[in-house]
Amino acid sequence: MTICFDIGGSAIKAAIASPRGEIRPFARVATPLGDFEAFVAVLADLRRQGGAGDVIALSITGVVDPRSEIITCANIPCIDGRRLAPDLAERLGVPVHVANDADCFALAEAVKGAGRGHRIVFGIIIGTGIGGGLVIDGRILAGAGGFAGEWGHGPVAATEAGDPPVAIPRFACGCGQKGCVDTVGGARGLERLHRHLTDEERDSTEIIAAWRSGDAAAARTVACQVDLVASPLALAVNIVGADIVPVGGGLASVPELISRLDEAVRRRILRRTAGPLLVPSLLAAEPGLIGAALLAHQGERA
C-alpha cells in the first residue's frame, strides 16, 4: 500500500493510493516549516493513520535535483538543501519517492486527465504564479537540476504589450532575475500589471470580474497579460513539441481566459492545429496526490 502526500508551505494532505492511481484522502495538517524532526514526525504519524503503507510518495513544492536528490525549497526551510528522499527513507524505513508538485500535476493529467492518450504532455500551472512539468511517454522528464518544464523563469518577458503597445518594466522576480514570465503571469502578475497600467490596487478576482463585465481598464490588463505570456509559452511548446497543454491553477478556472491564451499561443507556434492546444485540467481536485500515487507505482515497476 502507498501513502501519498501533497506538501505545500501551509499544509500537508495525505491519501491512501492504489497502484492504478486512485486515491482516498484521509488527513490534512499544517506543514512544520522550521524543524526537520517535527516534519518527519508528522509524516510518520500520518503514515500510521493511513495503515503504515510500505511505500511513500511526495508531491512537494520546490525543485529536486534528480542526480543529487537535493531539494531546493524556500517555502519549507527545514527541508531546503537536504537529500530529502534518502533522508526520509532512512527515518521512516520505507522507500520514498519525491517529485515537484507541478511535475506531479503534469503526470496526473498525462496519465489520467486531459493529456491521456497523448505522447508529449506539457502541464502548466497558472495560479498565484507560473509553473509547469513535462511528461513524455507517461514519465516525468525532470531534466538537469530538476528544472525541466519551468517555463516561468528566465528573462524572456517582452518589454511592451497590448494594442496599442504599452511599455512594461522588467519586474524583479523572486528567483533573482528580472523580466521572468512569473512576474507578469498568474494572479500576482495580473495584479502587478493592473497596478502598473492603471495605478489601481485590485486583486485578481476583482480584475477578472471587471473584465467579464466589460470594464475597459480590466480588459486592457488582461490583453496585456495574454500578450506577455503567450509568446514564451509558444516558444516552450515549439521546443518540447507538446501534443497538448493541460492548464491548472486558480486562473485555469476562468475558461474565457484560457481560451484567449490558447488562441494567442496557437497563432505563435509553428504547428498548425484547428483544435485547442491549451485545455483546462480534468483533475483539479487533487492532482498532486494523484501524481504522487502514479509516481510511486512507476518507482515500484522501475
Q: What is the DSSP string of 210-238?
A: HHHTT-HHHHHHHHHHHHHHHHHHHHHHH
pLDDT of 300: 52
Q: Which residues 6+ apart lie within 8 Å of 36 measured at CB?
A: 78, 79, 82
114, 94 in Cβ contact below 8 A? no
Residue span(s) of the chain under CATH 3.30.420.40 come to 2-100+285-301, 114-280
pTM across the whole model: 0.93
pLDDT of 174: 86
Side-chain-side CA neighbours of residue 2 (13 Å): 28
For the beta sheet containing 2-7, the strands, ordered from the edge strand earlier in sequence to the opposite edge, are 23-30, 11-17, 2-7, 55-60, 96-100
CA–CA dist 21, 112 (Å, integer): 8
pLDDT of 31: 96
CATH of domain 114-280: 3.30.420.40
Q: Which residues 6+ apart lie within 8 Å of 260 measured at CB?
A: 222, 226
Q: For 65-78, how does the pLDDT look when each residue is reduced to its tens digit (9 = 90+)?
A: 999 999 999 889 99
pLDDT of 302: 42
How, if at all, do strands 139-140 and 130-136 pair? antiparallel
Domain 2-100+285-301 indexed as CATH 3.40.640.10: no
Using alpha carbons, select from 17, 22, 91, 87 the residue that is nearest to residue 57. Answer: 17
Q: Which residues 6+ apart lie within 8 Å of 48 measured at CB?
A: none
Tell me the three cell numbers of residue 190: 495580473
**Helix (H) or strand (E) run with residue 126 in it:** strand 120-126
pLDDT of 299: 65
Residue with cell 521572468: 180
Tell me the three cell numbers of residue 68: 543529487
57, 299 in Cβ contact below 8 A? yes
Residues of the chain where predicted confidence (pLDDT) is lower than 50? 302
**Helix (H) or strand (E) run with residue 167 in it:** strand 166-167
Residue with cell 516525468: 140
CA–CA dist 300, 5 (Å, integer): 17
CA–CA dist 5, 59 (Å, integer): 6
Residue with cell 490588463: 221
